[in-house]
């Protein structure tokens, strides 16, 4: 796939930023799934993983609400507010 070199060599310790070249690769895959079946299947599995993890985060939020209420989290986090923010995070935006 024609993934831009600057994306392949980026500093992965820095936050992700959108890249038009990567978007074009995904567009190519999704416009022609039969030609790029393996890439299409992998992308779909990553989306499934993201969705399932989001469901786990939601269930974990409810568990934290029931157990500790509005107290600080066990790891020093803000507890429920921290969990609530995490629900909106995506692995594969």
Question: Which residues span the domain enclosing 78?
Answer: 44-93
What average pLDDT does the segment 63-69 reach?
79
Q: Is residue 56 part of a domain?
A: yes
What average pLDDT does the segment 2-8 reach?
95
91 and 66 inside one domain: yes
What average pLDDT does the segment 50-79 reach?
79
Say if residues 50 and 92 touch (Cβ distance below 8 Å): yes
What average pLDDT does the segment 57-83 reach?
75
Number of CB atoms found within 10 A of residue 79's CB: 20
Say what the pLDDT of residue 73 is.
67
Q: For residues 35, 36, 38 and 43, what is the CA-based torsion angle, rounded to 10 degrees? A: -140
Q: pTM value?
A: 0.70
63 and 91 inside one domain: yes
């Amino acid at each position: 796939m024609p993934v831009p070199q600057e994306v392949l060599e980026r500093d992965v310790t820095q936050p992700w930023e959108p890249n038009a070249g990567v978007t074009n690769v995904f567009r190519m895959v999704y416009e022609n799934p039969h030609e790029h079946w393996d890439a299409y299947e992998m992308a779909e599995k990553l989306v499934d993983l993201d969705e399932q993890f989001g469901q786990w985060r939601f269930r974990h939020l409810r568990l934290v609400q029931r157990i500790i209420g509005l107290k600080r989290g066990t790891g020093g986090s803000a507890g429920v507010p921290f969990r609530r923010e995490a629900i909106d995070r995506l692995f594969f935006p």
